[in-house]
Amino acid sequence: MRRLLAVVAIAAALGCGSDILGPVQTVDGQWLGVQNGYSVSFNLAQNDTIVTGVAEIVGIGGSGSGTASGTFVYPTLTITITIPGALDVNYKGAMSTTQAKIFGKLNGSGFNNLEVDVKKK
C-alpha cells in the first residue's frame, strides 16, 4: 500500500508543471487546441511570412484533415485549411506575447467566428 501511495505522489508531483511553453515568434511546429466542442491541430512550417502544413479539425459531427496555407506576420496568423470534399475553412488568430499560444477563430464551411485557441506542443 505504501508503495502505491509513493507512486501516486511521484506521479502527482511530476504532473504539476505548466504545459504551455513561453512566447515564440514563429508558428513552426505542432499546435493543438480543444475548445467549444472542437479539436484543432496544425503541423506548420514557416518560411519568412509564408506558412504551409497540415491541419485537422475534429468535432461531434465528424472530422476532416487537409492542407494549411497562408501567412504569419507577427502577431497575426491567417491560414486557409483545404479539406478534400469540403469547403475551405479559414483560421485567423493572434499570437500571445506571454506564451506559445494563438488566440484564433474558424470561419467558413459552417463555422462562424468559432473560437478555438491553439498551444504549441
Residue 58: count of CB within 10 angstroms of its CB: 15
Task: Work out the mean pLDDT of the chain and round it to a whole number.
Answer: 87
pLDDT at 17: 44
Radius of gyration (C-alpha) of the chain in whole angstroms: 17
pLDDT at 19: 67
Kindly state whether residue 7 falls inside one of the protein's structural domains: no
Q: State which residues form the domain around 24.
A: 20-120
Kindly state whether residue 103 falls inside one of the protein's structural domains: yes
Mean pLDDT (whole number) for 52-57:
98
Q: Which CATH number does the domain housing residue 43 bear? A: 2.40.128.120
Question: 6 exposed, middle or buried (CB, 10 Å; 0-12, 13-18, 19+)?
Answer: exposed
Is pLDDT of 116 > 60? yes
pTM here? 0.83
From 15, 50, 17, 27, select the one nearest 101 (Cα to Cα).
Answer: 27
pLDDT at 70: 98
Count of domains in the chain? Answer: 1
Question: C-alpha grid cell for residue 63?
Answer: 472530422
Through-space distance between the first and last CA atoms of the chain, rounded to whole angstroms: 36
